[in-house]
Chains A and B, each alone.
Chain A
Amino acid sequence: MFLINCPYCGERDQQEFKAGGEAHIERPKQPTELSDDEWAEYLFMRKNIKGVQFERWNHAHGCRKWFNMVRDTSSDEIKAIYKMGEKPPSQ
């Protein structure tokens, strides 16, 4: 059970949070201009990395805020947490 440092509330138990998949996949601004393949790339393709992964998390049973997390999926080590819109830390 992770201990997650919500950027708005501080350290809370994992059960207050919901994972929201890979981070930094921006919704295309002009979807209608994309080909089926390009749209499918946005819609379906996710990396699912074994190792360091950028993820979205939501403090669902807390402040309801979304934020980003850098997590090593093989060790579950949380390497960084930052707010939506902030630049990801450089590796």
Chain B
Amino acid sequence: MTKNLRVKSSEYIDETNRISFKFNGKIYHGFKGDTLASALLANDVHLVGRSFKYHRPRGIMTSGSEEPNAIVQINPGTNRTEPNVRATEVEIYEGLEASSQNCWPSVEFDIGGINNFLSPFFPAGFYYKTFMWPASFWEKYEFFIRHSAGLGKSPTSSDPDIYDHRNVHCDVLVVGAGISGIMAAKNAAKNNFKTLLVEEKNELGGSTIFENNEFNKIDNKSPSEWLKKEIEELKSIKNLEIKTRTSVAAYHQYNYLLARENLTDHLEAKDKINKIRQRLLKIRAKKVILATGALERPLIFNNNDRPGIMLSSAVKKYSEFFGVACGSKNIFFTNNDSAYEGALSLFNKGINVEAIIDIREQSESKIVKKVKEAGIKIYWSHSIVDTTGYKRLNSVSIMKLSNDGTSVTGNKISISCDCLGVAGGWTPAVHLYTQSGSKLKFDEEKKVFLPNKNTSEQISIGSCNGDFKLDEIFNNIKKKIKEMLNINITDFDNIKVENDQENSKRNIWLLPSDKTLGKTKPFVDYQNDATAKDIKLALREGFRSIEHVKRYTTTGMGTDQGKLGNMHALGIIADTAGVKMGELGTTTFRPPYTPLTFGTIVGRNVGKFFDIFRRTPMNDWHVENKAEFENVGQWKRAWYYPINGETMHQAVQRESKAARESAGILDASTLGKIDIQGSDASEFLNRVYTNAWSKLAIGKCRYGLMLNEDGMVYDDGVTTRLGENHYIMSTTTGGAANVLGKLEDYLQTEWPELDVYLTSVTDHYATVSLCGPNSKKILKKIIPDLDLSDENFPHMSFKETNIGNIQCRIMRISFTGEHSYEINVQASYGKDLWEKCMQAGNEFNITPYGTETMHLLRAEKGFIIVGQDTDGTMTPIDLQMDWIVSKKKYDFIGKRSLYRSDTMREDRKQLVGLLTDDPNIILEEGAQIVSKLNQNPVEMLGHVTSSYFSPNLNKSIALAVVRGGKDMMGKKLFVPMEDKNINVTVANPVFYDEKNERLNA
């Protein structure tokens, strides 16, 4: 049976509620209120993981989110498993399972531990230097690295939980519910500010709630007693919302903050079902009050990472808050008075404190006197030079520090112990502050970075502002809150505060050892195994910028972002390089402050909501008729309709033949449609298209090409004149939104004098394209009254009519080269119209075809697809479409660019047709084209943009862009592929019906 180190009953631990959980397969017990860390410590388990590089045994070091070592895999092997979770933040529940990470085969015997003995060969930059060369060895290295490294395992089945996002607006957001945050929230809410108080832990009160220093008093009460009363009062305050288990992950500009609210992680599996697990709060706050507290610093000395070595504040919290002794023979190591509070806390509970090792020469504060009176041995001016104990600390060796603190002298004394509380002073938690873009300054005396210049309406109060003493905290809060909230009095104006600490501190960033630095392991970043030695090596190798040293040594690059050791890294760099810390700057603290789950980030946008699809009104018909779909922008378009187990190729060949031989039907609803009205509509079209529009008669259609101002083809489509001042423009499916945006831009900013109004009507209409020699007969069956003769309804014209009671617009236009009609009806009638056409076309074997056949048919005609045959570098001239560029018009978008020396070069890539010498070989789209084989370097002339096997021509056809292609008609070129060279001949891009006879067939 393991030892029970529960030493006192705590009001935060419910000892009537015993909870069993598993750690590394073994069953342990704790109580409601325990974290995984406190419950393990109560069972005398310190060893919880292995370090990243050297696989050194590591124990629980802290009691909060800054924990670098105790990161565990929660519920391994289940669909709720989560890696990289800090044991110090996990609230235990019945059935919880957790396991160590980064160890194989087990945390007790880890094969990677061998790296520790090889560590002279693993200096900073080892991975960069070693695994770069020879390149062919990478696979071997990778195997080794992947097998022995890595933090945790991601789940392999889908997440059963629900996640949520919520927008939150408030007048005042208070981050952190320690004493400062509670005071601020109370005053803000009482003064009618809509206030939100968020706290990452499940209890309010921060560290003051278990404050035991008898020399600190608020209103003549102990701080914890006073604060409990304040917290009680919060419950009755209106305007105040409190969210616990809510951690602010990011603080962006304009007081926009992201916080993760944890709703079910502390519940048993059966209670998690059908509940939102985590919610991302997107908070817009008018004012932000940061009360994020401070993190205790460790001290950097040889072998400072053994299980059992913890922060002194953590030792104190486990004792006072959780009622757990972290060891039975405790030592504290300190450079300030904080450790004395921890020592007294243990002493008062009858737990053995062997000694306090203090690098200062002395301290006269009341609490130090109290410790002396208690008979605890204090070693002044001493430093720890080494520690022993592989899986658990068992002794420390101490020596006297020289006056300048750079060396140790005298005899080495060894003291046995099983827990060491380390107190290196405090670092204000300014992470969120800096994320907001606000700037820090370095306080040379306190050796801390403090908030300096705010970029938004925000204040920092309490220890995150560098105020560590109660009187400082109170005075600054009162002052700052009055200023920010514009109020004259606070609840705390007349409260008397007493405190003790004299705050003397001796700061030595890297403590000396009797061994040379090269023979020691003073860890700065525990999670990434970066030592002071690595940092010094980086400086010797010429790195100067803190950002570079950080990346080279990986200091601060773990999942904890080096919350504990970053200051020491900076200090060591400053000392070594002989510069002031303030001048060095700090590394950037990036969001999230603590890791977020992917679930929280994506919220409800999973499954079918991950990427929203647009579907046409005829979609159900396509689905029922077994269409395969293709994604075009956000649209799901019918791609082809295989029957009787056809392959895509077979289906497309059949559809293409049918459309030319009898009748085909295509769902063209996705084409962009912009309604253009206004007295200057014609002039507007003149300016945006390359061709002329003023003379287009009402009821006629015209194809238009739109350029960018740089002369490159941007979009194309047919526009129809519906009335004197009324047009409907069609755009490409993918370009619809951008074209509208571009046109609006010109209208609003360049040509505000034009009377033109644009409305997107893409979704309002369903469009059926009916094509083929029998399309006319089919349409006639549907609309018997309409005169379909070439005289009354010629190619490129428009009719507005009715099908039964349904109003429709019909354009006789063609993208296939066949006689065809585009019938537009109100979207909700789309499927009905489609079915009518299918029925009427039945006797003509009407064949539905998808986008692939559409592409094939237009390629036979040499019609371009913007975005496939063009790529933003093609002018209309490059496309051999000179005919559509008006020479008469004074100006249109992109016109001037067509006369730039570069766009007029003869050797630009130009669109041509390509025919393979062997008509059965189909070129690959994207394949490169060359004129000579076995050239070195190869001169690439261009590439294939569209390629198909044409069933109507019974040969393969392709479109390509080729440098100088315009003048290469009939020239033999090559398309070199991996396994063969394909011989091709440059041809006219119009492969089929060059004279357009079929349009009127």
Contact = CB atoms under 8 A, between A and B. Distances in A.
Interface of A: 1-3, 13, 18, 20, 26-28, 30-32, 34, 36, 39-40, 43, 56, 58, 60, 64-66, 75-77, 84-85
B900 A39 contact: yes
A42 B75 CA distance: 61
Given A1-B256, A75-B455, A66 B897 contact: no
Contacts of B897: 39, 43
Nearest to A29: B891
A1 B253 contact: yes
B221 interface: no
B95 interface: no
Given A1-B253, A2-B254, A31-B891, 19 more contacts: A1-B252, A3-B254, A3-B255, A3-B256, A26-B750, A27-B750, A28-B896, A31-B896, A32-B891, A36-B901, A39-B900, A40-B900, A65-B748, A66-B744, A66-B749, A75-B455, A76-B455, A77-B455, A84-B752
B456 to A, nearest CB: 9
B437 interface: yes
Given A56-B749, A58-B741, A85-B752, A31 B895 contact: yes
A6 B521 CA distance: 57
B256 A76 contact: no
A82 to B, nearest CB: 13
A18 B710 CA distance: 21
Contacts of B749: 56, 66, 84
Contacts of A26: 750
Contacts, number: 58
Contacts of B900: 36, 39-40
A77 B454 CA distance: 12
A80 to B, nearest CB: 15
Interface string B133-148: 0000000000000000
Contacts of B899: 32
A1 to B, nearest CB: 4
26 contacts: A1-B252, A1-B254, A3-B254, A3-B256, A13-B256, A20-B745, A27-B709, A28-B896, A30-B891, A32-B896, A34-B896, A36-B901, A39-B896, A40-B900, A56-B749, A58-B745, A60-B741, A65-B748, A66-B745, A75-B455, A76-B437, A76-B455, A77-B455, A84-B748, A84-B752, A85-B752
B285 to A, nearest CB: 11
Interface string B874-901: 0000000000000000110001110111
B217 interface: no
Contacts of B744: 58, 64, 66
B284 interface: yes
B455 A32 contact: no
Given A75-B437, A75-B455, A76-B253, A32 B745 contact: no
A60 B749 CA distance: 14
A27 to B, nearest CB: 5
A31 B284 CA distance: 46
A2 B254 CA distance: 6
A15 to B, nearest CB: 10
A26 B752 CA distance: 12
B873 to A, nearest CB: 15
Contacts of A18: 741
Interface centre among B252, B744, B748, B750 (most CB of A within 10 A): B748
Interface string B898-910: 0111000000000
Interface residues of B, number: 25
Nearest to B711: A43
A43 B899 CA distance: 13
Contacts of A76: 253, 437, 455
A32 B137 CA distance: 61
A41 to B, nearest CB: 12
Nearest to B255: A3
Nearest to A23: B749
B539 to A, nearest CB: 30
Nearest to B741: A60
Contacts of A27: 709, 750
A91 to B, nearest CB: 20
A31 B849 CA distance: 45
A31 B750 CA distance: 13
Given A32-B896, A36-B900, A2 B253 contact: yes
A3 B890 CA distance: 42
Interface in B700-752: 709-710, 741, 744-745, 748-750, 752
Complex A-B, nearest 9 residue pairs according to Cβ-Cβ distance, in ascending order: A31-B896, A1-B256, A3-B254, A66-B748, A27-B750, A1-B252, A76-B253, A39-B896, A66-B749
A34 B899 CA distance: 11
B493 to A, nearest CB: 34
Interface string B226-266: 00000000000000000000000000111110000000000
A60 B740 CA distance: 11
Contacts of B752: 84-85
Contacts of B455: 75-77
Interface in B732-783: 741, 744-745, 748-750, 752
Nearest to B250: A1
Nearest to A56: B749
A86 B338 CA distance: 61
B870 to A, nearest CB: 19
Interface string B416-438: 00000000000000000000010
Contacts of B256: 1, 3, 13
A26 B256 CA distance: 35
Contacts of A31: 891, 895-896
A18 B709 CA distance: 19
Interface string B266-294: 00000000000000000010000000000
Contacts of B709: 27, 43
B437 A32 contact: no
Contacts of A66: 744-745, 748-749
A32 B892 CA distance: 10
Contacts of A75: 437, 455
Contacts of A1: 252-254, 256
B890 A32 contact: yes
Given A60-B741, A66-B744, A32 B253 contact: no
Contacts of B895: 31-32
Nearest to A40: B900
A75 B256 CA distance: 15
Contacts of B891: 30-32
B184 to A, nearest CB: 23
A30 to B, nearest CB: 8
A53 to B, nearest CB: 16
Interface centre among A2, A40, A64 (most CB of B within 10 A): A64
